[in-house]
């Protein structure tokens, strides 16, 4: 079994925690945008609190391990690897509970080029444990507003993981939008009446599901304050501080760790 110490070392060596690639200035810009209720930063969350930039910085320092010093405005950002390991333990417990009770689950990612393998490994293990891995609204058209106009996509599933796909060509696309998970949940309720008891995802998937009252768990980077606000306000069950700019293979030790902690792997 991968130990917590070995995982911590891997997180730091791979740049998923410790000093990370996400720039400090990018994170601070996200906090300002969230405080201004910019939908590109709220990710589908409608927070109850006012959440000023200063309050967000203090929250992210506590939950994520970024520097609380507002005078530090540029350079590499940081994530506390101990926070990451503790959150992954809580994440694993939610997976264990879902598997024990054979709950229906929905998995999705807005960063398929980097994080898909992490989720696909979880989807396969949960399915083997008897959970129904839902794939509602497959092929559904989703129009996403962007600063450059509305872009047309379709909802796809790869290895049981929901991803937004280009309307032409079908290539998975990066997105922070909550529209894919909203479409999936609406279709699940309408088509067969089975809603997921747990959503596992990032960005718009975790925040969009949590806002609609579905238990949601997943990672958030140092420039994703919405995920941690969601946890602070009780709409997200587990927010895992984790940089999302790493190589795809660097996330696989994390999936192996949580599956073993959840007793879903030998």
Nearest Cα to Cα of residue 22 among 247, 250, 243:
243
Query: Do 228 and 239 form a contact (C-beta atoms < 8 A)?
Result: yes
What was the pLDDT predicted at 266?
56
Give Dmax (Cα) for the chain. 53
What are the C-alpha distances in Å from 238 to residues 63, 85, 171, 183, 231?
Answer: 11, 12, 30, 23, 6
In Å, how far are 55, 115, 263 from 159, measured between CA atoms? 39, 12, 21
| pTM listed for this prediction | 0.95
Structure tokens given for 202: 């990032």
pLDDT on residue 182: 97
- pLDDT for the residue numbered 170: 82
Counting as low any pLDDT under 70, the low residues of the chain are 1, 266
Helix, strand and coil in the chain, % to nearest 5: 45, 20, 35
Strands (E), 159-243: 161-166, 172-173, 198-201, 216-220, 238-241
User: What domains, with CATH codes, occur in the chain?
Assistant: 4-261 (3.40.50.10490)
pLDDT value for 192: 73
Extended beta strands in the chain, E state: 18-23, 76-79, 105-108, 141-146, 149-158, 161-166, 172-173, 198-201, 216-220, 238-241
């Amino acid at each position: 079994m991968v130990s917590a110490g070995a995982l911590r070392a891997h997180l730091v060596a791979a740049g998923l925690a410790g000093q990370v690639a996400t720039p400090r200035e990018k994170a601070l810009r996200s906090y300002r945008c969230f405080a201004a209720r910019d939908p590109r930063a709220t990710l589908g969350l409608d927070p109850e609190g006012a959440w000023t930039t200063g309050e967000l910085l203090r929250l992210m320092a506590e939950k994520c391990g970024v520097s609380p010093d507002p005078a530090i405005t540029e350079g590499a950002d940081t994530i506390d690897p101990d926070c990451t390991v503790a959150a992954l333990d809580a994440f694993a417990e939610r997976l264990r509970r879902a598997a024990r009770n054979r709950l229906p689950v929905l998995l999705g990612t807005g960063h398929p080029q980097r994080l898909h393998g992490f989720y696909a490994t979880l989807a396969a293990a949960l399915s083997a444990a008897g959970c129904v891995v839902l794939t509602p609204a497959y092929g559904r058209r989703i129009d996403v507003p962007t600063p450059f106009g509305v872009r047309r996509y379709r909802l796809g599933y790869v290895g049981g993981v929901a991803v937004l796909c280009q309307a032409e060509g079908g290539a998975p696309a990066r997105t922070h939008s909550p529209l894919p998970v909203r479409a999936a949940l609406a279709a699940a309720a309408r088509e067969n009446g089975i809603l997921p008891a747990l959503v596992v995802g990032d960005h718009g998937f975790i925040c969009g599901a949590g806002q609609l009252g579905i238990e949601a768990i997943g990672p958030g980077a140092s420039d994703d304050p919405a995920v941690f606000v969601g946890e602070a306000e009780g709409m997200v069950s587990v927010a895992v501080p984790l940089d999302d700019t790493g190589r795809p293979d660097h996330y696989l030790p994390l999936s192996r760790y949580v599956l073993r902690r959840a007793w879903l792997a030998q």
